[in-house]
Chains A and B, each alone.
Chain A
Amino acid sequence: MSSDTKVTRKLMLYFPECETEKPIVYHLVKDYDLVINIFRARVTPEEEGYLVLDVTGTEENIEKGENFIRSLDIKIDTARKGLTWDSESCAQCGSCIPHCPTGALSIPDRKTMEIVFNTDECIECLSCIKVCPFGAVHSLF
């Protein structure tokens, strides 16, 4: 892969306490030439906050951007996801399927009718949470 190939990465930023006054997104765009797509944010002063976004750019610029974010004492949480699907709680009914706009929740095999969740496709619109009868989908914030 050449160094100027653009890649997209989904990041979840965790603000232990939102004291930063810096316009983070502005700097990611202007200083590191990153394309930003914000899925969901909860940033409230003096409380912990979350920001889930896609960044698109070169590997090098994404890394620089990530370092910039970390320099502001904001954590890039790679372990946790903003939205999680619990395969044990899921009763495999499929009532979520018509409400998922991206196909992150899907039934790839119509013979077995099993539900599959692909976190990479999820834009965290939270539609599934509202319609799941079994509480199988959870939002971190």
Chain B
Amino acid sequence: MKTIEEINEKISSGKAVVLTAEEIIDYVDKKGATAAAKEVDVVTTATFGPMCSSGCFLNFGHSKPKMRITEAWLDDVSAYAGVAAVDLFLGATQLRTNDPANIDYPGEFRFGGGHVMEKLVARKEVQLFALSYGTDDYPLREKRVSFTIDDLNQAVMVNPRNCYQNYNVAINASDKPIYTYLGYLKPGMKNCGYSSAGQLSPLLNDPFYRTIGVGTRIWLAGAQGHVYAEGTQHSPSCERGRLGVPSEGAGTLALTGDMKKMDPEFVRGVSLRGYGTSLSVGVGIPIPVLDEETLLQTTIRDRDIKAQVIDYSTDYPERTGKVLASVNYEELKSGSVEILGKKVEAGSLSSYAKARKIAGMLQEEIRSGKFHLTAPISPLPVEQGMKPMKESD
């Protein structure tokens, strides 16, 4: 048994033993769980992939004369101005004004909120265009100005749903191609799309949220952020397999961090043909090895993590609940899986290579004493379902 305080002392003195969620698997195989739980202090987990429910709050400071912004666009992407005078919220999936969307099907969706966020973090110039109706104390009615993130008072990433614990695999059983947020799916189940870092993914290494909770300090695109709430649609009550790892979406996290401290490599605008825009974000979460049980949870392997295959041509949009098959991440990562006796090519939207890099970067930050761990200030629900939309009175 170790406490977070003890682990943090070891981190401060540069003596913490830190392994990635990939390295820990072989390590425990070699040393045994009891010895490894004593030796290892922290296991680093990570993920990098499209997380649509992301955005940021920006504060511009006041113009002279002052302006109470009521409508605003950042590089022609509409930002929500229904907060205080010079605060804006920009959402990752907001399309650029006049984007033809799917009028010319499939739309290309080259630029949206996620791309503006990428430009901000990369310290590139972005144009603000703001309108107001004018008041006695805030008379200015229009403003157009170029700015960078350094001109802002605050740029805070606020992502209501990131780090889906697991995710389904999209396939197309129809006879027409379809365009989804899991990629372009050829007809007749020729390919499938998935999106998870598997054995490296944060919540798959802490399936019952014993160490990750509200208040947990995280690595968010290079900045030190934290979990501010359970993520939207957090629904841990679901089918679970080995070590209690869910085979469905299950848990989610709401994350926040200072965009001024982020690394542009891990904040990337995403264009999904026929679907829309989004943002790929890199997240790293350390798991303190408090006891043998927390350690064992981190030894989950790709082959033991199952994902449900769902037909995105009918069952997904119609919410029939039908699952075509179950596959594991070792199969998915091999590049092809067998589904209903048919060889299907698998493509990922989540980047395992980037997740590996993040797990390694976080490992290095902890080893060198730059990143300390926190205990949650409140736990995430372990039993909770997800309601469908209420559709009629």
Q: Which A residues lie at the B interface, using CB under 8 A?
A: 91-99, 107, 110, 112-115, 130-131, 133-135
B343-365 vs A, CB cutoff 8 Å, 1 = contact: the mask equals 00111111111101000000000
Q: What CA separation (Å) do A122 and B273 show in the bound complex?
A: 22
A92 to B354, CA, bound (A): 7
For B190, give the chain A residue with the smallest CB separation.
Answer: A98
For residue A130, which residues in chain B have a CB less than 8 angstroms away from its CB?
Answer: 184, 273
Per-position 1/0 for B319-348, Cβ under 8 A of A? 000000000000001110000000001111
Give chain A residues whose Cβ lies under 8 Å from the Cβ of B345: 97-98
Whether the pair B193, A95 counts as a contact (CB closer than 8 A) is: yes
Which of A113, A114, A131, A135 makes the CB contact (< 8 A) with B333?
Answer: A113
Q: A91-B351, A92-B354 are in contact. Are A110 and B268 (CB under 8 A)?
A: no
Q: Specify the chain A residue showing the minimal Cβ separation from B344.
A: A98
Give the residues from 266 to 282 in chain B that come closer than 8 angstroms, CB to CB, to chain A. Answer: 268-273, 278, 280
Residues A113 and B352 in contact, CB atoms below 8 Å apart: yes
Q: How many residues of B contact A (CB 8 A)?
A: 31
CA distance A110 to B356 in the complex (A): 12
> In the complex, which of the residues B280, B351, B356 has the most CB atoms of chain A within 10 Å of its own CB atom?
B351
CB–CB B334/A93 < 8 A: no
Within 8 A of A (CB), among B89-141: 110
Can you name the residue of chain A whose Cβ is closest to the Cβ of B185?
A98
Main secondary structure of the interface of A (DSSP, over half): loop
Q: Is A99 within 8 A of B191, CB to CB? A: yes
Chain B, residues 199-226, CB within 8 Å of chain A (1/0): the string is 0000000000000000000000000000
Dominant SS among interface residues on chain B: strand
Q: Are the CB atoms of B347 and A94 closer together than 8 Å?
A: yes
Which residue of chain B has its CB nearest to the CB of A89? B268
A110 to B348, CA, bound (A): 12
CB distance A113 to B353 under 8 Å? yes
The verdict on A97 contacting B335 (CB below 8 Å), with A91-B280, A92-B354, A133-B280 known, is: yes
Residues A94 and B271 in contact, CB atoms below 8 Å apart? no
The residues of B that contact A114 with a CB separation of less than 8 Å are 353
B351–A94 touching, CB < 8 Å: yes
Pairs A-B, 4 closest by C-beta atoms: A98-B345, A92-B353, A113-B352, A98-B191
The answer to whether B286 has its CB under 8 Å from any CB of chain A is: no
Complex alpha-carbon distance, A112 and B359, angstroms: 12
Cβ-defined contact, B347 with A133, below 8 A:
no
Q: Bound state CA distance, A110 and B336, in angstroms?
A: 12
Identify 10 new A-B residue pairs, CB closer than 8 A, beyond the known A93-B351, A98-B347, A131-B347. A93-B49, A98-B335, A98-B345, A98-B346, A99-B347, A113-B351, A113-B353, A133-B50, A133-B270, A133-B280
B55 within 8 A of A: no
A112 to B20, CA, bound (A): 13
Measured CB to CB, the nearest residue on chain B to A92 is B353
In the complex, chain B residues 290-327 whose Cβ is within 8 Å of any chain A Cβ: none
Cα distance A92–B358 in the bound complex, in angstroms: 13
B183 at the interface (CB under 8 A from A): yes
B48 within 8 A of A: yes
User: Across the two chains, which residue of chain A brings its CB closest to B191?
Assistant: A98
